[in-house]
Chains A and B, each alone.
Chain A
C-alpha cells in the first residue's frame, strides 16, 4: 500500500495489536497524516477557527450584519501550508483521488458533528468551471460522506473566490440562484471556509425561501 499523498510505501509499526489483528488499509503514511493537522478544540464554537477559545472576530461581525443566517460551521483540518498545496493539487490540478486522503478524518468528524438527518446541499460550479475541472469538489466530499447530494442551486460564471481579496469577496454579488425551495434543516458541504461568504450567500437564499436552519461542513478552515 502506498501513501496517496507522497507515494511512499506505508510501513506500519509492528505491535502486538497490529500483529494479531487483520491488516487495516491505511491510505496515508504517518508523516503526511501529521502534516494534515486536524482541528481539535479549542476552536471558535460557531465557525471552527482553530486556536480560539471564544467566538472569533469574524463571526461577531457576521452576527451583527446577518443575525441568525448560518447556525454554525464545522471543519476538519487547518488550512495550513501543506494543505494549501494539497488543495491546489486536488482542485486546480485535478488530482481527484486525493480526497481519499481526508476520508478517515472527515467521516469521523461528520459523525461527531451531529448533522445526521439533515439534507445535504451541494455547492455548484458554473458549467464552464465544471467542464474545466472535470468534477465538483463538493460532490466529491459528499460521496466520501456516503450521503445523497441535493443539487438545488445554479451558479453564474465569475472569477474564482481564491483569486479575490477579503474585501472583494465581502462585497461580491450573490452568484447563486435557488431552483427549489426547501423547508427542512440543511447542511451545505464545501471544501474551504475562508471568510464564510459563499455559504452565507447560499444560506441567504435558502432562508428567504423558508428553510428552517442552515449549517455548513467544510474540510478546511
Chain B
C-alpha cells in the first residue's frame, strides 16, 4: 500500500529495463518510442524483440484513483480521455498531455531500445582555441572532474554573460573522448538553433544533432545531441552526461512533464549538470543544504560588472498603452537613445502589446520590428537585428534569455506586469553589455509602481556585482 503511494508521488523509473544487451542500432538507443515511430520493418522489430534489444513496456501506470502516462508523467485526470478504439473494439484510455508527439494509448505498449551502443570515442574532438578566464577555468575543471567520475550532480550558477557555453567545452571534450553519450537540453527552440552552429564550429568532426519541434533532423542517433527539453520525452535512460540549460526558465519550471522527462533521460549512473543565472527557490534551498554542489561565477567573462537596472515611474503608462501609444517621456528617452550607436531592445508584457507598440513606433519613422512566439519569421528577424539591419526590436519575454546581441540598451515597459518575475527581469537586464567592446548598457524598467520582483531583481544583480568585485 505504502509502495503504491510512493510510486505515485515520486517519479519511479524502475520500469525501464535494467538489462541492456549491446547492439548497433543507434536510432533506437535509449529511446522510448511508439510502435509507428520505429524506423524498422515489422520483421526487424520482431527479431529485435526476440534478442531483447527492443522491449515492450506498458505505456500507462494505473492507480486506484488515476493514471500516469509513462512518456510525459502526466497524472492529471482531466488530461486523460477515453475513445472507442478501432483496433481493439473497446473504450481505450489515452493521454492528452503529450498528444502533440503522437497519441499514447493504454492498450499499446511502448518499445524501448537498449541503450548500450558503442559510441565513437574521439581522440581530440574540440578545436576551440579561446582562453577561459580564471573563474571559467575553475568551473570547467570541476565539471571535467564530474564527467570523469561519471556520477553526480552539479549546478553552475553563473551571471548572464559569464560564458556558460565555453565552460562546458572541456567537460564535453572529456566525455566524447571516453565515448560517452552527451545531451545538452534547453527549454527554448531559439537557443538550440543558436547553440548548434557554435558547437559545430568548436567540435568540427563530431556528429552533433539538434532536435526540436520542426528540426530538419529527427533521428536522434548521434552521440552528442542538443535538444529542446520537450524532445526528451522520447528518451529514457539514454545519456551518460546530461546538461540542462536554464533550469529556471518559465517553460521548464512550470511544466512537470519536462522535469519528468529530463530526469528519465539520464542513465541511473550519470553526470548531470545544471546551468542557470537565476536559480529558483528550490535549487537555492538544495544548494544551501549542501544537497546540490554548486559552482558560482559572479563575474562576466569580460570582467565588467552587470548593468544595474534603473527604475523610472511613468504614471500614465497604462492609459497610453491602452491607446497604443507610449508616454511622451518614454518617447523622448527613445529618441535620445536612438541618437547613440547602440540598438534598442524593448520588452513588453504581451504579444498584442508588442505588435501595437511596434506599429506605433513605425509611424514615428523608427526602423522597428516586432518578434514574438507566434511569429513564423522569428529566426530571420533576430538574425537581421544581430546584423544591425534595423535599430529597434520590440519583443516579449521570448527573448529574455539565451540570445546575445553585441551592443544594446534595454527598456522594459510595464515592468510591474506578472510575466516579469525576478528571474525574467534579471535575465532581461543581462541582455545589455554582453560584448567586451561595449561592456556597459542602459537598462531601464518603466513602471507604474515598484513591485517586489523589480526590487529583488535589482538587489540580486547588485549582490552578484559585489561578489564579483571581491574576486
Contact = CB atoms under 8 A, between A and B. Distances in A.
Contacts of B99: 89, 93-95
Interface string B188-223: 000000000000000000000000000000000000
B78 A7 contact: yes
Given A93-B103, A97-B96, A134 B78 contact: no
Interface in A127-166: 130-136, 139
Contacts of A130: 86
Kindly name the residue among A93, A130, A134 whose own CB sees the greatest number of chain B CB atoms within 10 A.
A134
A96 B83 contact: yes
Given A2-B78, A7-B79, A96-B94, A135 B84 contact: yes
A134 B79 CA distance: 19
Given A2-B78, A7-B78, A7-B79, A95 B103 contact: yes
A93 B83 contact: no
A7 B78 CA distance: 8
A94 B81 CA distance: 11
Contacts of A2: 78
Interface residues of A, number: 16
A95 B78 contact: no
Task: Name the residue in B82, B83, B102, B105 with the highest tally of chain A Cβ atoms < 10 Å from its Cβ.
Answer: B83
Contacts of A139: 84
A95 B96 contact: yes
A94 B94 contact: yes
A94 B87 CA distance: 14
Interface string A98-128: 0000000000000000000000000000000
B83 A134 contact: yes
Contacts of A131: 86-87
Given A94-B99, A94-B103, A97-B81, A135 B94 contact: no
Given A2-B78, A93-B102, A134 B87 contact: yes
A93 B94 CA distance: 12
B78 A97 contact: no
Contacts of B82: 96-97
A132 B35 CA distance: 11
Nearest to B84: A135
B81 A96 contact: yes
A135 B92 CA distance: 11
A37 B100 CA distance: 24
Interface string B132-147: 0000000000000000
A139 B85 CA distance: 12
Contacts of A89: 99
Interface in A57-104: 89, 93-97
Contacts of B96: 95, 97
A6 to B, nearest CB: 12
B107 to A, nearest CB: 10
Contacts of B105: 134
Nearest to A1: B78
Nearest to B36: A132
B78 A135 contact: no
Contacts of A7: 78-79
A134 B103 contact: yes
B94 to A, nearest CB: 7
B350 to A, nearest CB: 14
Interface in B391-416: none
The 8 closest A-B CB pairs, nearest first, are: A96-B83, A97-B81, A94-B103, A130-B86, A93-B99, A2-B78, A95-B99, A134-B85
13 contacts: A89-B99, A93-B103, A95-B103, A96-B81, A97-B81, A133-B86, A134-B86, A134-B103, A134-B105, A135-B83, A135-B85, A136-B86, A139-B84
Given A93-B102, A96-B83, 19 more contacts: A2-B78, A93-B103, A94-B94, A94-B103, A95-B81, A95-B99, A96-B81, A96-B84, A96-B94, A130-B86, A131-B86, A132-B36, A134-B85, A134-B87, A134-B103, A134-B105, A135-B83, A135-B84, A139-B84
